[in-house]
Amino acid sequence: MHAIHAIGSRSTSPRGNAVAITFLSVLLGGCAANMAIQAEGDPAVSFDSYGTYAWSATERAPRDVRVTQALRDQIREDIDRHLGDKGYVRVTTGADFSVTYQVTIEGETITQTLDYYTGSNWKQTLAGPTTRRYEEGMLIIDIVDGESDRLVWRGTATAEVREGTSTEVRSERVAEAVQKVLAQFPSR
């Protein structure tokens, strides 16, 4: 497979594990402009031949208990709705592809300096480096070929985690993340 790149796993701090739902609060609750969407598909695969899908039998259980069953159900329902809108039909056996998702939370650190330009060259740093630690959450949706059992498409939504987001806003962000990721998946 040429265009699919595995998303590496980084170690998650205990604090990172403690904010799984909070991630969903941003990916799932922050500003829409702060959600990064990426998708890659195997260029050797003819997605035109796909018409049916099923949920993967090997779905991963969430690592954090705060990824509630209600939230997991919403993600599945949103994926089902968007795949249906694209013309795919959910079946229980003999699917052209299977779909699964996972949610990850990882601690990140960003260091920034403030330099200035005078017109002829860069000057020294105006302020020392500032370091900020934050949590980054990711929703990953995988499409696996039903015949070969190979990953043929992956879409991700990534956002900074923010605490204190309401359930309503979190739910809206889940729907937005799924919609934006699957907007990148080919329609029938």
On the CB side of 14, CA atoms within 13 Å amount to 0
CATH architecture of the domain covering 14-41+49-182: 2-Layer Sandwich (3.30)
| pLDDT of res. 46 | 92
Say what the pLDDT of residue 32 is: 42
**What is the pLDDT at residue 75?**
94
Of 53, 40, 55, 56, residue with least CA distance to 86: 53
How high is the pLDDT of residue 108? Answer: 61
Residue 118's pLDDT is what? 61
Residue type at 25? Answer: S
**pLDDT values of the chain reduced to their tens digit, one per residue, 188 residues:** 333 333 333 333 334 333 333 334 444 444 444 899 999 999 999 999 999 999 998 777 767 665 678 888 999 999 999 999 999 999 999 999 999 999 876 666 777 666 665 666 655 555 667 776 767 778 999 999 999 999 999 999 998 767 777 778 778 888 999 999 999 999 99
Per-residue pLDDT at 129: 72
**What is the per-residue pLDDT for 170?**
77
- Give the CA distances from residue 172 to residues 78, 80, 116, 150, 177, in Å, rounded to whole numbers and listed in that order: 11, 16, 40, 31, 9
Average pLDDT along the chain: 77
pLDDT tens across 121-167, in order? Answer: 655 555 667 776 767 778 999 999 999 999 999 999 998 767 777 77
* Residue 107: predicted pLDDT: 63
Euclidean distance between CA atoms 95 and 98, whole angstroms = 7
d(C-alpha 45, C-alpha 55), whole Å: 20
Question: Can you give the residue ranges of every domain in the chain?
Answer: 14-41+49-182
115 has which bridge partners? 125
Count other Cβ atoms within 10 Å, centred on residue 164: 8
